A and B are shown apart, each in its own frame.
Chain A
Amino acid sequence: MPNNSIHVKGLQKSYKKLHVLRGVDFEVERGSIFALLGSNGAGKTTIVKILTTLLKQDGGTAAVNGFDVALKPDYVRQSISLTGQFAAVDEILTGRENLIMIAKLRHIKNPRQVADDLLNRLGLADAADRRVSTYSGGMRRRLDIAMSLAGKPQLIFLDEPTAGLDPEGRIEVWKVVKELADGGTTVFLTTQQLEEAEQLADQIAILHDGRIIAGGTLAELKKLFPPAKVEYVEKEPTLEEIFLAIVGEKGGK
C-alpha cells in the first residue's frame, strides 16, 4: 500500500474557455485531515469531482489509494465516499431509510444494524423515523456525513461540509470530522473558511488561479509570514463566542 492516500500531479481541467485547473499538484497522507482552501469558483469542487471519479480531467494524473482515477474508477469507488456540496440525502425517505439504502448499496451484511449505529453515533436516533424533509440544516448535514460513513471507507471527501450551517451545527460537524481522523480515516475537505482549516487540518493547501500556491502544515504556513511581533490588543469576545455561551446551556445536542 502506498503511503499517500491521494497523489495529484499536473492536474488540468477547463470548462469550454474557462481554464479552472492549470496544473495542480499535491499529496495527502494516509490518515490525515487535508484541507483545500480557496475562494468561490477557485476549482475546489472540480478537484473533488475528479478525485471521486465524477469528472474526467483534461491533463495530469490523479491517484486515490494507489489507483488512477481515470483508468480504474471502479477500484477508486470501492474505498472512498463523497459528501458533496449540497446534502445528497433523499428528502422523502426517513433518516433510517436513507442509511439502510446506502448500506445495502455498499453490500454490508447488516444494513439495519449499521444504520442504527450511525444514527446513534451522529445523534440522529430521535429523528430516525422522520422524513428528512423535516430535518434542520445541521441534521441534514449529519445524515449526509453518516451516509458517507456506511461501509467504513478509507477516504472521505467533504466538499464544504459546514457551508450554510449555524455555529452549533458547524461545531458538531467538526467534532465528527476529528473523530473520523482519530479512527484512522483519511479526510479530504474543502472550505473557504480559514478558521475551519485551522481547527481541523493537519495539512493545508491553498488553491488560487488554478494552482496550489502554498501548502503544508499550519506551522509551516505560518512561517511564510513575517515573524510575529508582540502587540497589546484588548480582546473582546466575538459575537460567535457570546452566541455559543448563551445557547450553550442547551448542551451539544
Chain B
Amino acid sequence: MEAVKKHFFSDMGVMLGRSMRHIFRSMDTIITVTIMPIAMMLLFVYVLGGAIQTGTDNYVNYLLPGILLIAIASGISYTAYHLFMDMQSGIFDRFHSMPIARSAALWGHVLTSLVSNAISVVVIILVALIMGFRSSAGVLSWLAVAGMLALFTLALTWIAAIAGLSAKSVDGAVAFSYPIIFLPFISSAFVPTQSMRPVVRAFAENQPVTSIVGAIRALLSGQPVGNSIWIALAWCLGILVLACLFAMRTLQT
C-alpha cells in the first residue's frame, strides 16, 4: 500500500534510532569487538612478527588491513544476535502486525552495524598509529579505503541477517561468524601467500579476503592498486546482493 512505501525512510529512521540506542547503551559490545583485534595486532607485531618475512620493514602497515577485516567479521555477529533476540522477544511480531515495511526494521539493524563497525575500525586505526602504522595515502585513497570497508561490512552484515533471522538458538545465530573470522588467516593478511603450500596457497589467493586486503594495503601505501580493487569490489558487491536477497526472502516467509 502507498502509505507503507511513503513512510519507509521515516520508519527506517525510527528503527535505526532504536538499535543505535541499543549499541550506545551497551558499549561493551563495541569494546569486545575492538579489543580482540587489537590484542591480535599486539601479538602479531610484538611476538610473532619478528619471524614473519613480508618484505616490508613496517609489519604494522602490512598487518592492519587484515586486522580491520577481522574486527568487522566479529562485529557483525552482534547484528545476528540482536536480530535473533528481536525475533524471539515478539517485538518483530508487533512491528510486522503494524502498517510498516517489514524491511524497515532490518535496515535499521544493518545501518547500525555500519556505524558501530566504523567506530571500532577508527579505534583500531588509532591504536595502530601508536604502534607505528604510517600511511602516505591521500584523502581520495582514504575515502576509497572507507568505501571498501563499508561495502565489506554491508556484505557481511547481510549474511549475519540471514543467520539472525533463520537461527533456532542464540548460539546458532552467533556461531556463523567464526569461519568468517578465520578467513583472513588463510589469506595474505598476515603472511605473504608465497610461503604457503600449493593447495592452501591456491585457496588463499582466490578467496575474497586476499583481494580486499591487497586493495586496502595498496591504497594505504600509495601504490598502484591494479586489478585487486576490482576483484575486491566484485566479491563484496556479489556477496552483498546475494545475501540481501536471501535475507529479504527469509524475512517474508
On whether the beta carbons of A88 and B91 are closer than 8 Å, the reply is: yes
Chain B residues closer than 8 Å to A92, beta-carbon distance:
21-22, 25-26
A243 contacts the other chain (CB 8 A): no
Q: Roughly how many angstroms separate A90 CA and B97 CA in the complex, as a whole number?
A: 16
Q: In whole angstroms, what is the CA distance A224 to B11 when docked?
A: 50
B127 sits at the interface (CB 8 A): no
Interfacial residues of chain A within 34-56, with CB under 8 A of chain B in the complex: 49, 52-54
Residue B132 is within 8 A (CB to CB) of chain A in the complex: no
Q: Assess whether B1 is in contact with A88, with CB atoms less than 8 Å apart.
A: no
Chain B: how many interface residues by the 8 Å CB criterion?
Answer: 24
B38 nearest CB across to chain A (Å): 26
In the bound complex, CA of A93 to CA of B94 (Å): 16
Distance in angstroms between the alpha carbons of A104 and B7 in the assembled complex = 10
Bound complex: CA A88 to CA B96 (Å): 12
Q: Of the candidates A74, A77, A87, which one forms a contact with B90 in the assembled complex, judged by CB atoms under 8 Å apart?
A: A87
Q: Which of B3, B7, B26, B97 has the most CB of A within 10 A?
A: B97
Q: Quick check: is A106 within 8 A (CB to CB) of the other chain?
A: yes
Give B residues with C-beta under 8 Å from A.
1, 3-4, 7, 10-11, 14, 17-18, 21-22, 25-26, 89-91, 93-100
Give A residues with C-beta under 8 Å from B: 49, 52-54, 74-75, 77-78, 80-82, 84-93, 97, 101-102, 104-107, 147
Name the 6 nearest CB pairs between A and B, nearest first: A74-B1, A88-B90, A77-B99, A88-B94, A82-B97, A52-B97
- Given A97-B21, A105-B11, 12 further pairs, Cβ under 8 A: A52-B93, A54-B96, A54-B97, A77-B97, A77-B99, A80-B97, A86-B90, A93-B21, A101-B14, A101-B17, A102-B98, A104-B10
15 example contacts (A-B, Cβ-Cβ < 8 A) are as follows: A52-B93, A53-B96, A74-B3, A74-B4, A80-B97, A86-B90, A87-B90, A88-B89, A88-B90, A88-B93, A89-B91, A91-B89, A93-B21, A105-B11, A105-B95
